Structure 1
């Protein structure tokens, strides 16, 4: 498969899009008895209101708006974390990320001795066990070679980046080294990253369409993560590279609202190309399509009506867009206020595939089928923590417990989404219950200090991949 796709990936952007067509109105219909394909599209650092169907006012995202009109839009979707590696751990394992060292704190994904244990059951490995073809196109960020690799964690095909971010044109990471790969092989390829990932995703879905197996593709874009570069900013990319300073790629002196708009609308355009290719391949009527983000927005994002951004457990750091089109299951143009979270996708997809979770690694997430069909989910409490500023959070029903350093709060995030009115004195029983529930939950997770958990690639360790003492 890799060799075929490598040849196909050499096609131009225009050729990759040739022959695709917009999905005809009313063309989606369930296929009884067939297991669905799954296309999971993840944006990077996209805020809750960064799509026009979620309220963005200064630009439009017509293709993602169209996807929402053809499916269901969640209004209370949460990321498992306010930073990306931690959320990706929860997404791929279906469990709270704090159960694994790699999920404890963002910098761990850049340490050679920390990553997703290859033997841990994952969403792609469980689907593969159920007979699915699996591919990751885009961002991995769950550990470095040689110990950690998408191909060791259930994906049959990988094409993308291993680290947290790359320049959109040079494809160098923040350490200045190239970070674009076709499986184990480094790539030297010209083009804007968002376009290249879309091109390759189209090649993969066409390849999958020629096979009899159902398939799962994780398409993890880097947009709209920094550096702040539009498709017209190659000169700016070269300027940053010429500085010879890895810190320059963080682009602290760059960006604007207009730049951000161009990055998001380019992402919207490329998602549209992929959906057109899916329709043209005849697979759309039997494919679950999900579009969401890994955490709340950063510098130029719109998180209205919430406050807070990435790295904060305020709603703006956690609340994300989530759109699902599942023919025969989701009602076109519908919305749901069900409280969902990143780790729910694993049990949802595995159940849809007719598979089963590993009994020794039971998901903390829940199957979302009832909510996707327009119903409700059983009430549960969702938990978060983040070492920066000693943040803690828990949500149950309409109420949210929040701790930032030594300050504690209780908010009704339905009536007060900006989290302004602290109700802990008005509703002491609810506050005490949520604070105690958080403390009980926290004792079941790994300790916060990430330095205590390494698996010993350097010969120095106190615990294994899972944080178990050795």
Structure 2
């Protein structure tokens, strides 16, 4: 929709005249009453790999042909907190999924899409910049992969420290996460591990990365809680690179105990940096799986055979993560901070067929454990198995034990959720909604957006357990959108006119019955086709076959009056904030963009109107302000003059619109009773500029 390639953005990020720092907005000091937040992200862990989501069901069937994994600590986390049964990743592959989580942007508006591994995360609001500005200490541990490619390492343009993190310890590049012994580089070569800007891999012999990241996370939390910053809440992004890729094994059993004195420990001794950096690398198989057998031919009369080594490895890697969660949970209890810490556990996309193991090992197949759960699809598919995530939340005293949350949500909703929990205003740029009401049972839940677009040259695997119509099916350009219980899916998209397959994923999670042929779903079909055009902007680095299609107008045509409606939200906001979950101080109607008279100097004005496009064509919009502002068209980002915006800089965007009325939201900070000379104008192709006013904007009375 919006022609703004990531390498040549029209936005210029300098110092705004309000003198907030360019990289991190002015701090809003918070007390320790704000909760700590730990977000744990695994790599390629499937919905079906966790006990409470699917593996326990396989165990209960007592069918020897169905091998199963055990995840006792994650099951306990679910029992003491909440599990999300309908949470989606924003993309079926890691880089765009992680970028959407970090920025709160869905893939219709995100700047990292498709297979743009190592592309730099844009210089804008992130979860870390937001929480840091709210008084949080911030740490990123494990896999990053959003640093931007540069020969001038370690000065990557999007190093985590340039995106809001006080501390980074982990793998910088995406591909480094394909090896779980960085010093030895057993199967994929030696890797670099960065402690902020220093490569410390030479000190990390025999350090299995799941153990390494866990031990460092524990050390960082203990140091923070026992140091002078103990009153400061913290945010930790703990990103495991397992179980993805090489399926290497730990050196030994998980250390007994857990928490402050037991479990994994950081020894800070070169050559044995953690307490499992001894013994023989890539050797330890969990005893629950070492001698496991199964009925491979589904014939009780023949002997069972041993699990292939590949699956002993896969199950051990997942069990190691499970042990780490138990260890971290115990640490929070030992430090008496469990009740003030919100912990989220999830994955970045569906399970993978990748294993990168030496010859002689069976290739990895998610069919062995049913890692995709009760769905079809794996990593790189937009079927439910590629996108549905095994998400758990723990916050003792705030989340009722054993809660199941079945409302649809996405990883991009966590930014708004953490802001809500910390009582920090979330930036207007975010697409997500706060999940705090559904987590705590307090407040009114909002309806979120579930939308995915992705392009991939491969095929859905030819698994016998998948529906015949999608076995070996070419992917190409894909989309997924959800309305209530209904999901629309398109593969090999050729044009915006292509029909969606439509499934009720509540009653039919495996997506076996395509409802699109039913005449009763024709209106839903048309709504889906319109919505996927209205909710996205064009990315020149991720072209789509529907990029040049005019955006459909809103069906509204009656009850419109010239002008704009406005709502005023009181607050000394450090950035342009979202109205979601907020109560307006006052509201009214105006003929044009101007300061509203509310006898309150500090706040944000949200103007809402329908822009009237007299005919189909290209429309260029321009925004210029000496303050801060943000504009949406339908649900897509149109113009951004917020984070790092240079005061007075004019920004432009061109979109193609169908004739009719198009909803516009204009967010503007009002400081000292003024809007900072906000100017928003447009022109049709071949015409002169016109200001947006009651001549071309209309509101619903």
| TM-score relative to the length of structure 1 | 0.80
Match of 2:491 in 1: 404
1:94 Cα offset (Å):
0.8
Distance 1:63 1:286 in 2: 20
The partner residue of 2:238 within 219, 239, 252 is 219
The answer to whether the 8 Å contact 1:384/1:392 transfers is yes
**Gap runs ≥5 in structure 1:** 1-31, 238-253, 452-463
Give the number of the structure with larger relative contact order, counting CA–CA contacts within 8 Å between residues 6 or more apart: 1
2:377 to 308, 311, 316: 308
Say if 2:120 is the partner of 1:115.
yes
Q: Evaluate the alpha carbon distance shift between residue 317 and residue 368 of structure 1 in structure 2; reply closer, same or farther with a 3 A threshold.
A: same
Task: Provide the C-alpha distance between the structure 2 equivalents of 1:450 and 1:37, rounded to a whole number of angstroms.
Answer: 39
Would you say 1:180 and 2:180 are equivalent positions? no
Tell me how far 1:202 sits from its aligned partner.
Answer: 0.4
Count residues in correspondence: 402
Given that 2:182 and 2:192 are in contact with CA atoms closer than 8 Å, whether structure 1 keeps it comes out as: no
1:271-328 per-residue CA deviation (whole Å, 9 max, x = no partner) reads 1111111111111111001111111111244112110000010000000011111233
SS of corresponding position for 1:82: coil
Is the radius of gyration larger for structure 1 or structure 2?
Answer: 2
State the alpha-carbon separation in 2 of the partners of residues 207 and 33 from structure 1.
16
Corresponding residue number in structure 2 for 1:17: none
- The 1-side partners of 2:187 and 2:523 are apart by 47
Alignment counterpart, residue 386 of structure 1, candidates 443, 454, 474: 454
1:231 to 1:175, Cα distance in 2 relative to 1, 3 A: closer
Seen in structure 2, the aligned counterparts of structure 1 residues 446 and 115 have a Cα distance that, compared at 3 Å, is: same
Q: What residue is the counterpart of 1:230 in the other structure? A: 249
Classify 1:380/1:97 alpha carbon distance in 2 versus 1 (closer, same or farther; 3 Å): closer
Corresponding residue for residue 14 of structure 1: none
Alignment root-mean-square deviation, CA: 2.8
Q: In the TM superposition, what whole-angstrom CA distance separates every residue of 1:404-440 from its partner, at most 9, and x where no partner exists?
A: 1157411111111111211111122212211221122
Are residue 281 (structure 1) and residue 331 (structure 2) matched?
no
Q: CA deviation at 1:344?
A: 0.5
Find the aligned partners of 1:320 and 1:215 in 2 and give their Cα distance: 25
Cα deviation digits, residues 96-138 of structure 1 (max 9, x gap): 245343x1222x233xxx3013x31110111010101000111
Distance 1:381 1:128 in 2: 26
> What is the alpha-carbon distance in structure 1 between the residues aligned to residue 107 and residue 223 of structure 2?
33
User: Is 1:50–2:49 an aligned residue pair?
Assistant: yes
Rounded to whole Å, the distance in 2 between the matches of 1:137 and 1:170 is: 15
Looking at structure 2, the residues matched to 358 and 378 of structure 1 have their Cα atoms a distance apart, in angstroms, of: 17
Please give the alpha-carbon distance, in whole angstroms, between the structure 2 residues aligned to 1:449 and 1:336.
33
* Other-structure match for 1:167: 179
CA positional deviation for 1:208: 1.8
How far off its partner does 1:255 sit? 6.4
| Residue in structure 2 matched with residue 73 of structure 1 by the alignment | 83
Contact 2:97 2:349 in 1 (8 A): yes
Aligned to 2:539: 446
When you count helix as a share of all residues, which structure comes out higher? 1
Q: 2:414 aligns with which of 336, 345, 360?
A: 345
Mapped partners of 1:420, 1:344: distance in 2: 28
Are 1:140 and 2:152 an aligned pair?
Answer: no
TM-score, length basis structure 2: 0.54
SS at match of 1:393: strand
Q: 1:305 to 1:182 in 2, by over 3 A?
A: same
Distance 1:129 1:380, change over 3 A: closer
Residue of structure 2 aligned with 1:198, choices 190, 201, 214: 214
Residue 146 of structure 1 aligns to a residue whose secondary structure is: coil
Distance 1:342 1:255 in 2: 33
Evaluate the alpha carbon distance shift between residue 74 and residue 449 of structure 1 in structure 2; reply closer, same or farther with a 3 A threshold: closer
CA separation in 2, counterparts of 1:324 and 1:447? 37
Secondary structure of the residue that 2:339 maps to in structure 1? helix
Look up the match of 2:514: 422
Superposed counterparts of 1:1-12, under 5 Å: none
Which of 381, 386, 392 in structure 2 is aligned with 1:317? 386
CA, structure 1 residues 128+378, in 2 after alignment: closer, same or farther (shift >3 Å)?
Answer: closer
How far did residue 269 of structure 1 move? Answer: 0.7
Q: For the Cα contact (< 8 Å) 2:182–2:193, is it kept in 1?
A: no
* Matched position secondary structure for 1:90: helix
Q: How far is 1:45 from its partner?
A: 0.7
Match of 1:413 in 2: 505
| Residue 173 (structure 1) shift | 11
Q: CA deviation at 1:232?
A: 4.8
In the alignment, is the contact (CA less than 8 A) between 1:92 and 1:122 conserved in 2? yes
1:355 aligns with 2:424: yes
How far 1:379 moved relative to its partner? 3.5
- Look up the SS of the partner of 1:256 in the other structure: helix
Structure 1 residues 174 and 231, CA gap change in structure 2 (3 angstroms):
closer
Partners of 1:448 and 1:411 in 2: CA distance: 31
User: 2-side partners of 1:266 and 1:432: how far apart?
Assistant: 47
Residue 386 of structure 1 and its aligned partner are, at CA, apart by 0.6
Q: What secondary structure does 2:217 align onto?
A: helix
Of 420, 433, 437 in structure 1, the residue corresponding to residue 531 of structure 2 is 437
CA contact (8 A) 2:250 2:281 kept: no
More strand by share: 2
Structure 1 position 33, deviation (Å): 8.3
Q: Which runs of 5+ in 2 are unaligned?
A: 1-30, 59-67, 149-154, 253-279, 284-307, 354-364, 457-475, 494-498, 545-639, 646-650, 654-701
1: CA distance between counterparts of 2:440 and 2:218?
28
**CA deviation map 1:372-400 (0-9, x unaligned):** 12477333442111112110110010111
The question of whether the paired residues in 1 share the 8 Å contact of 2:351 and 2:372 is answered with: yes
